[in-house]
Amino acid sequence: MTARVLITGASRGIGAATALAFAGQGARVALADLRQPDATAAGAREAGAAEVLAIACDVSDAAAVTSLRDATKAAWGGLDVLVHCAGIIHEAPLLETPVADFDRVIAVNLRGSFLIGQAALGLMKPDAASPPRVILIASDMAYYGRETFSPYVASKHGVLGLVRSWAKEFAPGILVNAICPGPIDTEMLGAAQMSAEWRAKELAIPLGRFGRPEEIASVATFLAGDGGRFFTGQGIGPNGGSIMP
Ligand SMILES: NC(=O)c1ccc[n+]([C@@H]2O[C@H](COP(=O)([O-])OP(=O)(O)OC[C@H]3O[C@@H](n4cnc5c(N)ncnc54)[C@H](O)[C@@H]3O)[C@@H](O)[C@H]2O)c1
């Protein structure tokens, strides 16, 4: 059967690259983002997707995620793969961080992961012989602390906690993993989001460059494929050597 794949954060960056990678394998892809990801949808059709759904969904909004789940179920009856890429970053010294900013980062990154993961797992049919896959994009910052990014760091530690718990709860019928990228060349690391000082620090990793979104997408297709059959509860680290846990 052609794989049914839900990808969030699909408008750009890692989510868009992941959508195109699965489309290139001929998958059926449901693409979600704050605004309907029409450009990625067009690219996915061109790349060879068997079917493309483009859906507007704020992943922090429980009602919106329920609608996304219902639309996916109505179209396909179930789901084989989730790659949850939607997320936001926030840089500010703690003493200059209003609680509303903390709440927003936690709402999108952690509550969003909970809601999307719960919706996807509810659509999946556990099957130890051919297990569906849940893949959440966390970060290398899921493993360590970083000054001026504490809400983001806390949210990504939380994502890893969800993954490890769900991996046990749904074994052996569904595999649940995180991808924990190092710095990737997307708008998230752009000047509008992060200081020049931090961008420079990010480049000081052993491989000396930012990763490309496609280098994360290829990890997602690996985890979703036959090669990923013995992975669950893991954080996979395409990170250029930023950390070596
Ligand atoms: N770029 C990096 O260096 C890096 C490193 C580690 C982890 N990550 C993680 O990878 C994921 C993707 O990041 P990216 O670099 O592609 O970022 P990006 O900013 O380029 O793309 C993020 C996408 O998520 C969408 N989004 C944001 N809030 C949303 C919401 N509430 N509901 C639905 N969609 C929403 C945005 O519209 C955007 O299309 C994020 O979870 C991020 O934390 C990124």
Q: Is residue 46 part of a domain?
A: yes
Best of 35, 84, 88, 91 to mutate for ligand 1, by most ligand atoms within 8 A of CB?
88
For β-strands 4-8 and 235-236, DSSP reports them as: unpaired
Domain containing residue 121: CATH number: 3.40.50.720
Q: Is 18 in the pocket of ligand 1 (CB under 6 A)?
A: no
Q: Is residue 181 predicted with pLDDT exceeding 80?
A: yes
Q: Is residue 94 part of a domain?
A: yes
Confidence at residue 4, expressed as pLDDT on a 0 to 100 scale:
98
Confidence at residue 199, expressed as pLDDT on a 0 to 100 scale:
85
Residue 152 designated active-site: yes
Confidence at residue 35, expressed as pLDDT on a 0 to 100 scale:
98
Confidence at residue 193, expressed as pLDDT on a 0 to 100 scale:
81
CA distance 129 to 142: 30
Q: Which of 76, 102, 143, 152 is catalytic?
A: 152
CA distance 136 to 131: 16
DSSP 34: S
Q: Which atom of ligand 1 is nearest to the CA of 213?
A: 16
Confidence at residue 123, expressed as pLDDT on a 0 to 100 scale:
98
Q: Is residue 56 part of a domain?
A: yes
- Which of 187-191, 221-225, 236-240 is predicted least confidently? 187-191
Confidence at residue 241, expressed as pLDDT on a 0 to 100 scale:
98
CA distance 3 to 228: 15
Q: What are the distances in angstroms from CA 138 to CA 4, 128, 180?
A: 22, 25, 5
Please compute the mean of the pLDDT values over residues 204-209 and round it to a whole number: 96
Residue (of 233, 230, 82, 66) closest to 162 by Cα position: 233
Q: Is residue 242 part of a domain?
A: no
Q: Which atom of ligand 1 is nearest to the CA of 84?
A: 41
Q: Is residue 198 predicted with pLDDT exceeding 90?
A: no
Confidence at residue 202, expressed as pLDDT on a 0 to 100 scale:
87
Residue (of 196, 204, 210) closest to 238 by Cα position: 210
Q: Is residue 241 part of a domain?
A: no
Please write the tens of the pLDDT for every residue from 107-154.
999 999 999 999 999 999 999 999 999 999 999 999 999 999 999 999
Q: Is residue 96 part of a domain?
A: yes
Q: Is residue 245 predicted with pLDDT exceeding 90?
A: no
Please compute the mean of the pLDDT values over residues 169-185 and round it to a whole number: 98
Q: Is residue 33 predicted with pLDDT exceeding 80?
A: yes
Confidence at residue 191, expressed as pLDDT on a 0 to 100 scale:
76
Q: Is residue 245 part of a domain?
A: no
Please compute the mean of the pLDDT values over residues 79-92 and round it to a whole number: 97
Please compute the mean of the pLDDT values over residues 35-53 and round it to a whole number: 98
Q: Is residue 110 part of a domain?
A: yes
Range of the domain at 231: 4-236
The fraction of the chain above a pLDDT of 90, given in percent, is 93
Of the pLDDT bands very low, low, confident and very high (cuts 50, 70, 90), residue 89 is very high
Task: Give backbone dihedrals phi and psi of 235, rounded to 5 degrees, phi first.
Answer: -110, 110
Report how many domains make up the chain.
1
Could you check whether the bond before residue 132 is cis, i.e. omega within 30 degrees of 0?
no
Confidence at residue 201, expressed as pLDDT on a 0 to 100 scale:
86
Confidence at residue 237, expressed as pLDDT on a 0 to 100 scale:
98
CA distance 128 to 43: 33
Task: Give backbone dihedrals phi and psi of 203, rounded to 5 degrees, phi first.
Answer: -75, -10
